Amino acid sequence: MRLEFDVESAGGDQRIAVEIDNLVVAGWAGRDLAATEHHIEELAALGVPRPSAVPLYYRVAENQLTQAPHIQVLGPDSSGEVEVLVFSAGGEMYVSLASDHTDRKLEAQSVALAKQVCAKPVAGRAWRYADVAAHWDALVIRSFIPENGAQVTYQEGALAALRPPLELIAGYLGRPAALLPEGTAMVCGTVGAIGGIRPASAFAMELFDPETGRRLQHRYTIETLPEVA
């Protein structure tokens, strides 16, 4: 899958194109192991199978990546999930934004399948990882949904709550590494939904850098297709 990004940098903006043939979704990526275990138990009570490892690296088809402003889903039970996206190009790692849109009803059968059946929207802008690595924990991810005629905050949290990307990359590769192999993209975990997980007709998300005031943003609409048998 070919993705294109406008890269914001102090040295000047540039446009890059990358070919992604390996998409990895890092699940259960919280730093607080006790909180992660509590969340696992909550979901298990709802019928969601426990992960076989923490963190767990789900593989999703690369053709599910999209930078379009609109996706289609089957049935009314899916929802977005804001996450940082990391990838490499030209020997350098970059940071962008993605939504791990997931079918919540299907999660009770298989989390991996629930992730696979939904498109993964990706922002069109990115930052150099080197520009934000020193203050990574201070970065904030947020998402917003329309509800009762207003836009409400759906998720919000600092990246300090999640494992840093180099730790996740090392866990996936089985060895320490300074960046992902080119051709691989990884989404790096999310924060809880405020007021509970629920569907919406649109999903807006951002990565905010409080040190510089910069934001990466993306918004997409969701069309629900009818379930027929």
Average pLDDT estimate for 41-55? 83
Is the pLDDT at 45 greater than 80, yes or no? no
- Give residue for tokens 């990565």: 207
> Where residue 35 falls among pLDDT bands split at 50, 70, 90?
confident
38/145: higher pLDDT:
145
Q: For the chain, give the mean pLDDT.
A: 95
> Where residue 65 falls among pLDDT bands split at 50, 70, 90?
very high
- Give residue for tokens 């607080």: 32
> Where residue 39 falls among pLDDT bands split at 50, 70, 90?
confident
Tell me what pLDDT residue 20 has.
98
pLDDT digits (tens, 9 = 90+) for 68-88: 999 999 999 999 999 999 999
> Where residue 207 falls among pLDDT bands split at 50, 70, 90?
very high
> Where residue 12 falls among pLDDT bands split at 50, 70, 90?
confident
| Strand 14-19 versus strand 2-8 pairing type | antiparallel
pLDDT digits (tens, 9 = 90+) for 119-149: 999 999 999 999 999 999 999 999 999 999 9
Which pTM was predicted?
0.94
For residue 107, the enclosing domain spans 2-225
Tell me what pLDDT residue 123 has.
98
- Going from the C-alpha of 47 to that of each of 30, 79, 109, 133, the distances in angstroms are 21, 18, 8, 38
Average pLDDT estimate for 17-33? 96
Is the pLDDT at 221 greater than 80, yes or no? yes
Tell me what pLDDT residue 70 has.
98
Tell me how many domains the chain contains: 1
CATH for 149: 3.90.850.10
Tell me what pLDDT residue 214 has.
96
